[in-house]
Amino acid sequence: MINVAILGFGVVGSGVGEVIVMNNEKLAKSLGDGIAVKYIFDKREFEGTPWQKLVVHDIDIIMNDPDVNVVVECMGGAHPAYEFSLQAIKKGKSVVTSNKEVVAKFGHELLSAARENGVGYMFEASVGGGTPVIRPLVKCLVANEIDSVCGILNGTTNYILTMMNKYSESFESALSAAQEKGYAERDPSDDINGIDTCRKICILADIAFGYGMDSTTVYAEGITAIRNKDVALAEKLDSSIKLLGRAKRVGDRISVMVAPFIVSSERVISGIDDVFNAVAINGNAVGEVTLCGRGAGKLPTASAMVADIVDVAKNGGLNVSWCSPDETPDGILLTPDQVEDKYYVAFATHDASAVEEQMDVKILSQDASEIAVETPKMPYGELKNKLSALEAKEIKAVSVIRIF
Amino acid sequence: MINVAILGFGVVGSGVGEVIVMNNEKLAKSLGDGIAVKYIFDKREFEGTPWQKLVVHDIDIIMNDPDVNVVVECMGGAHPAYEFSLQAIKKGKSVVTSNKEVVAKFGHELLSAARENGVGYMFEASVGGGTPVIRPLVKCLVANEIDSVCGILNGTTNYILTMMNKYSESFESALSAAQEKGYAERDPSDDINGIDTCRKICILADIAFGYGMDSTTVYAEGITAIRNKDVALAEKLDSSIKLLGRAKRVGDRISVMVAPFIVSSERVISGIDDVFNAVAINGNAVGEVTLCGRGAGKLPTASAMVADIVDVAKNGGLNVSWCSPDETPDGILLTPDQVEDKYYVAFATHDASAVEEQMDVKILSQDASEIAVETPKMPYGELKNKLSALEAKEIKAVSVIRIF
């Protein structure tokens, strides 16, 4: 019997319990052994539910019980989730988590500790929710040098952008709707400012390139500056605006960043709407592989975590194959100003000639108050210089969005 | 050192050799051990290439060499690929294959033999080419009861349908183009008649539901009857026509079939064009997960096979987790006539009233020579009866396509 202790029995934690009960027969068949929840660590009591008798408030009961094989960490926040995870690993228990903050900050340390102790540290659910991303990247595409990983990694912002696109809702009302539906936190700043996406793309970049990425220093732009006018123009161009995390090789350097992009409908991720996530991975043998699914939610996230439980129960530490990062060479990461893209820029002017003097642009639309253009590919720093030069002539850029 | 013998050094086999050489450093790092091709079994000599010195014409050299850990079977055809695979397994070697014919016919037997001999039998490349499908289904979605697996599993037919859609090419000229580009065989009948898709959906159905499916008895309809008029109408309805393999639970029974479907652009697979494959999997916890990528081609297919090599090299037989099929209960599989769908039907008539008398249809289009309708959901057998009744009144259905 595989005995599981669940730390934090909120939405995701209780989902893990639910999936283990709901699909117990299938799991036992796949694993050749049963899975049972032995403990729930939470402040609450869950009175009147079948879970009540499993609740403990003293973490040491779990840590000191040799029958607990797997600790499922669904606490959220860096502390004490990190400390509990490390303690469990040192006690010879595998740890499964959905906590992207802990993985982004302490993933390498916890993986090393897991390797030393012959147990697993698994975190499929930390990126993409129920969408398989980490295991496909690590396992299915192992034969590839990864050229890029790019995707919609945050369901809240994708929902907001979808509402702005499909129903012409304002950013504010779309955000309120997301909060009402439980897709967005009361404080949505980590989502709408790109911080959540940034943690996830850093985890994927670590795995793809083998360097440690510090998500607190990686460039992240959110969606708060996106206007309905921009969304409508993208639609007219048979494209959509998506908040993307993007990690790619550029020569012998690497670019990792988060920003909204205008994505042509030719690309699968352009049509991934609502709270769905999608990740496009380019490998030097396989070409492009795209993985789509629910990026959050109780049962989808639990689906990923229970798969991790089965994996560590079957293979223990054997399957931990995220390579330790190489020493990250100084300057391997391009600065935001060095990264080249094409840009959509809207200027508050009706006179195209001054803009055309500055850049060889393609006019996308023009009305009494604004001109929207597509620029050639250039480093972001160069674009900023050109925009400053135009601003000095009182031609102000009111919107700048990268083109994917 | 992991020593690999490649049986059949055609497009896919030589791709495996190429990927092992091209990404040797990455592979060694992921595996913690080197991978080398030790033998190539082929009739040809590959004179003047670096492979020449590895060529053997006697299979026993490979079978009797204890240093060969993994046999990569890329021979195509059922025999002697099956016999060689079984022999290798009995000699304690893991086998990796892209051969869907062998997997569909002998997969269960070879998996059992692999389990008995403590080695692996892996076949990720047999479905979806480079697209990860089998490993995600077996591993990533292990916590789910699978409700359905449905997808575009044949690149040749998807290419033909894309050409008919995007460039209004006729079926015949699209097929010729596919042959010229090397996407279609000289004898394309297995592709265009749905046989190839049928083998693949049966493999996926086996894994998803745990019953053995006989691909030779499963209903398979190809794309030869699709007319440009149908394709154009689908486009007008914001949909596209895709040849799908579909396996799904219907109550306590199962439906497995292959047919062209009209797929709304709301669904990810509707936009998957050219030789790309896509599989949508529905699980009772995760909801829908869609996996897209290159369904064929030298390096994409090799990408999947080399991932399998790494997996068996790391985990030997440990990772073989396709459950042995349960005894397949008589009558678990719905007959084609029992399966319910909505249908698009085009009638060679300009008089809608007779059709409307027979069925409660929605008129999709109408011109001087044809009426196209959408029917309510009904068993295929019932539709056939209604169409016979109409034919008796000289109202002939000229096209019938299921709606997804």
CB B39 within 8 A of CB B54: yes
**Cα separations in angstroms, B215 against A285, B198, B208, B212, B259:** 30, 6, 15, 9, 14
| Of B154, B152, B156, the residue nearest B171 (C-alpha) | B156
pLDDT at A344: 97
Reported confidence tier of residue B339, pLDDT bands at 50, 70, 90:
very high
User: Does the distance separating the beta carbons of A286 and B290 come in below 8 Å?
Assistant: no
Cβ-Cβ contacts under 8 Å for B26 (sequence gap 6 or more): A142, A143, A144, A145
Return d(Cα B293, Cα B283) in angstroms, integer: 20
Mean pLDDT of A102-131: 92
Mean pLDDT of A40-68: 97
Nearest-CA distance from A149 to chain B in Å?
14
Reported confidence tier of residue B326, pLDDT bands at 50, 70, 90:
low
| Of B11, B12, B214, B241, the residue nearest B104 (C-alpha) | B214
pLDDT at B165: 94
Q: Tell whether the model's pLDDT for residue B113 goes beyond 60.
A: yes
The answer to whether the peptide bond before residue A329 is cis (omega within 30 degrees of 0) is no
Instruction: Give the number of other Cβ atoms within 10 Å of residue B222's Cβ.
Output: 23
Closest CB to A142 among B141, B307, B319: B307
Q: What is the DSSP annotation of B163-207?
A: HHHHS---HHHHHHHHHHTTSS-SS-HHHHTTHHHHHHHHHHHHH
Instruction: Give the number of other Cβ atoms within 10 Å of residue A382's Cβ.
Output: 16
Task: Tell me which H or E stretch contains A250.
Answer: strand A239-250
Return d(Cα A197, Cα A258) in angstroms, integer: 7
Place of tokens 């090799």: B302
The answer to whether the Cα torsion of B184, B187, B192, B196 is positive or negative is: negative
Domain residue spans of chain B: 2-129+298-319, 134-294, 336-403
Return d(Cα B108, Cα B213) in angstroms, integer: 10
Token digits of residue A45: 């009591």
Mean pLDDT of A303-312: 95
pLDDT at B214: 87
Edge-to-edge, what's the strand order for the sheet holding B55-56?
B55-56, B35-41, B2-7, B68-73, B94-97, B121-122
- DSSP helix/strand/coil, B210: coil
Closest CB to A287 among B27, B141, B294: B294
Q: Tell whether the model's pLDDT for residue A136 goes beyond 70.
A: yes
pLDDT at B183: 84
| Of A295, A277, A304, A319, the residue nearest A96 (C-alpha) | A304
Nearest-CA distance from A200 to chain B in Å?
18
Q: What percent of chain A shows pLDDT beyond 90?
A: 84
pLDDT at B238: 93
Mean pLDDT of A104-131: 92
Q: What is the tens place of the pLDDT at every residue in A331-384?
A: 899 999 999 999 999 999 988 898 999 899 999 999 989 999 999 999 999 999
Cβ-Cβ contacts under 8 Å for A144 (sequence gap 6 or more): A283, A284, A285, A286, B23, B26, B303
Between CA B269 and CA A246, with CA A138 as vertex, the angle to 5 degrees is: 65
Nearest CA in chain A to B279: A291
* Strand A146-152, strand A239-250: pairing: antiparallel
Q: Tell whether the model's pLDDT for residue B321 goes beyond 80.
A: no
Q: Tell whether the model's pLDDT for residue A177 goes beyond 90.
A: yes
Class of domain A337-403: alpha beta
pLDDT at B30: 87
Q: What is the tens place of the pLDDT at every residue in B187-222?
A: 899 999 999 999 999 999 999 998 888 888 999 999
The answer to whether the Cα torsion of B294, B218, B102, B94 is positive or negative is: positive
Token digits of residue B384: 């056939």
Helices (H) and strands (E) in chain A, counts: 14, 17
Q: Tell whether the model's pLDDT for residue B317 goes beyond 90.
A: no
CB A247 within 8 A of CB A201: yes
- Interchain CB contacts (distance < 8 Å): A and B: 194
Q: What percent of chain B shows pLDDT beyond 90?
A: 84
Nearest-CA distance from B57 to chain A in Å?
28
| Of A86, A39, A55, A384, the residue nearest A219 (C-alpha) | A384
CB B209 within 8 A of CB B328: no
Q: Tell whether the model's pLDDT for residue A323 goes beyond 70.
A: no
User: Does the distance separating the beta carbons of A311 and B314 come in below 8 Å?
Assistant: no
User: Does the distance separating the beta carbons of B292 and A290 come in below 8 Å?
Assistant: yes
Token digits of residue B152: 């575009």
Between CA A189 and CA A194, with CA A192 as vertex, the angle to 5 degrees is: 100
Range name among A181-185, B91-95, B169-173 with the lowest pLDDT average? A181-185
Cβ-Cβ contacts under 8 Å for A318 (sequence gap 6 or more): B314, B315, B318
User: Does the distance separating the beta carbons of B210 and A304 come in below 8 Å?
Assistant: no
| Of A397, A297, A309, the residue nearest A347 (C-alpha) | A397
Give me the helices (H) in B38-128, please: 59-63, 81-90, 100-117
Place of tokens 């060694």: B28
User: Does the distance separating the beta carbons of B135 and A307 come in below 8 Å?
Assistant: no
**Homologous superfamily assigned to B2-129+298-319:** NAD(P)-binding Rossmann-like Domain (3.40.50.720)
Between CA B51 and CA B54, with CA B52 as vertex, the angle to 5 degrees is: 70
Reported pTM: 0.95
Instruction: Give the number of other Cβ atoms within 10 Å of residue B288's Cβ.
Output: 19
Return d(Cα A371, Cα A367) in angstroms, integer: 6
- DSSP helix/strand/coil, B338: helix
- Overall size of chain B counted in residues: 404
Return d(Cα A345, Cα B114) in angstroms, integer: 59
Place of tokens 């990569």: B72
Q: What is the tens place of the pLDDT at every residue in B255-292?
A: 999 999 999 999 999 999 999 999 999 999 999 999 99
- What single letter denotes the amino acid at residue B180? E
Q: Tell whether the model's pLDDT for residue B315 goes beyond 80.
A: no
Range name among A190-194, A312-316, B18-22, B271-275 with the lowest pLDDT average? A312-316
CATH architecture of A134-294: 2-Layer Sandwich (3.30)
Token digits of residue A170: 């304002």
User: Does the distance separating the beta carbons of B288 and A293 come in below 8 Å?
Assistant: yes
* Chain B environment of A297 (Cβ under 8 Å): 287
Reported confidence tier of residue B316, pLDDT bands at 50, 70, 90:
low
* Chain B environment of A23 (Cβ under 8 Å): 143-145, 284-285
Cβ-Cβ contacts under 8 Å for B294 (sequence gap 6 or more): A286, A287, A288, A289, B129, B130, B131, B155, B275, B276, B277, B300
pLDDT at B277: 97
Task: Tell me which H or E stretch contains A343.
Answer: strand A340-347
Nearest-CA distance from A25 to chain B in Å?
10
Instruction: Give the number of other Cβ atoms within 10 Å of residue B9's Cβ.
Output: 25
Q: Mean pLDDT score of chain B, rounded to an integer? A: 94
Instruction: Give the number of other Cβ atoms within 10 Å of residue B392's Cβ.
Output: 8
CB B305 within 8 A of CB B103: no
**Cα separations in angstroms, A357 against A215, A351, A373, A386, A389:** 38, 11, 13, 10, 11
Q: Mean pLDDT score of chain A, rounded to an integer? A: 93
pLDDT at A350: 86
User: Does the distance separating the beta carbons of A306 and B143 come in below 8 Å?
Assistant: yes
φ, ψ (nearest 5 deg) of residue A310: -60, -40
Reported confidence tier of residue B60, pLDDT bands at 50, 70, 90:
very high
CB A133 within 8 A of CB A140: no
Nearest CA in chain A to B142: A307
**Homologous superfamily assigned to B336-403:** ACT-like. Chain A, domain 2 (3.30.70.1150)
CB B213 within 8 A of CB B206: yes
Return d(Cα B31, Cα B37) in angstroms, integer: 15
φ, ψ (nearest 5 deg) of residue B350: -110, 10
CA B383 from centroid of its chain's CA atoms: 27
Return d(Cα A158, Cα A244) in angstroms, integer: 10
What is the phi-psi region of residue B221: left when phi exceeds 0, alpha when psi lies from -120 to 50, beta otherwise?
Answer: beta
Q: Tell whether the model's pLDDT for residue A296 goes beyond 90.
A: no
Nearest CA in chain B to A125: B140
Return d(Cα A305, Cα B143) in angstroms, integer: 9
**Cα separations in angstroms, B107 against A259, B142, B204, B316, B363:** 46, 20, 12, 17, 46
Token digits of residue A111: 């993986």
Return d(Cα B282, Cα B246) in angstroms, integer: 11
